[in-house]
Amino acid sequence: MLADCYRALKRYGAVAELWDELREASPGAALVTEGRIVAAGALADQGDIHGAIQLLERGPLRPSRGAALHHARLWYALADLYERAGDAPKARELFGRVVAVEPGLADAAERLAGLG
């Protein structure tokens, strides 16, 4: 995704613009969720962990049907931010959800174990 490239280049304004465009275009849930994750990551890169958490919390945290990969990726990103913010209980809950749905996703199982 182009927003990922802009984030890597630290062009955070461009990331925000693309996120706005994506949100307004309202494509499928998986694509919007990926855009939300990148936009939140850009906020976190700039030191706005609280803003990044707020952005991800507005995503599909509790799917009405079975969880898909994009849900697990959202939970993983949010768990990472909660852990960085010092909120181990919320991080533990979300890493637990990831492991339940996508046990091999990144290092979720190890991070969950590390949180006790």
Tens digits of residue pLDDT in 13-64: 999 999 999 999 988 999 999 999 999 999 999 999 999 999 999 999 999 8
pLDDT at res. 95: 98
Candidates 114, 110, 39, 113; CA nearest to 78 is 39
Query: What is the domain extent for residue 76?
Result: 2-114
**CATH number of the domain where residue 7 is located:** 1.25.40.10
pLDDT higher than threshold 80 for residue 114: yes
Annotate 22-56 with DSSP letters as a single string: HHHH---HHHHHHHHHHHHHHHHHTT-HHHHHHHH
Q: Which amino acid is at 31?
A: L
pLDDT at res. 26: 83
In tens, the pLDDT along 3-27 reads 999 999 999 999 999 999 999 998 8
Nearest-angstrom CA–CA distance, 90 and 96: 10
Per the structure, the count of domains in the chain is: 1
